[in-house]
Copies of this chain bind each other. A is one copy, B any other.
Amino acid sequence: MTDDLRRRLAGRGYRLTPQRELVLRAVESLGHATPDEVLAEVRQHSSAVNVSTVYRNLEVLEELGLVRHAHLSDRAPTYHSVTDHEHFHLVCRSCRGVVSVGAEAASVLTGRLADEHGFTADIGHLTVFGTCAECAREENP
């Protein structure tokens, strides 16, 4: 599997470095993580890795389609691996909770945007903000 990664990188003229691999493994094991969180995880395994290396590698890995990012807060973006099926995110403004929803749920919308606007939506990057059931209940009891 490491060889597979090496091949994918080589295909675009990139090399496989320990840092690169650590960043990818960190994203895979964390689920949804900001660059900062990825750095922290990477440093558990190798303490001398630099922030800029994390940013640069997230960029490369995203270009290769191995990770993706979405904006789950007004602050930092969060990265996740692409091994799982395509999904988008619901974020509750009240409790900050995040739920992943399969891309199928948005198919009517994407179809409509394609028909009416010729627009090809990138659902994997989509984040829908709002209020989750639990928080709605608390606010209007």
Give residues in A with beta carbon < 8 Å to B.
71, 74, 77, 90, 92-93, 99, 101, 105-106, 108-109, 112-113, 116-122, 125-126, 128-134, 136
Contacts and interface: CB of A to CB of B under 8 A. Distances in A.
Q: Which of A71, A130, A136 has the most CB of B within 10 A?
A: A130
Given A112-B105, A117-B99, A129 B126 contact: yes
5 contacts: A92-B119, A93-B122, A99-B117, A121-B130, A126-B126
Q: Is the interface of A mostly helix, strand, loop or mixed?
A: mixed
A119 to B, nearest CB: 5
Contacts of A99: 117, 119
Contacts of A119: 90, 92, 99, 128, 130-133
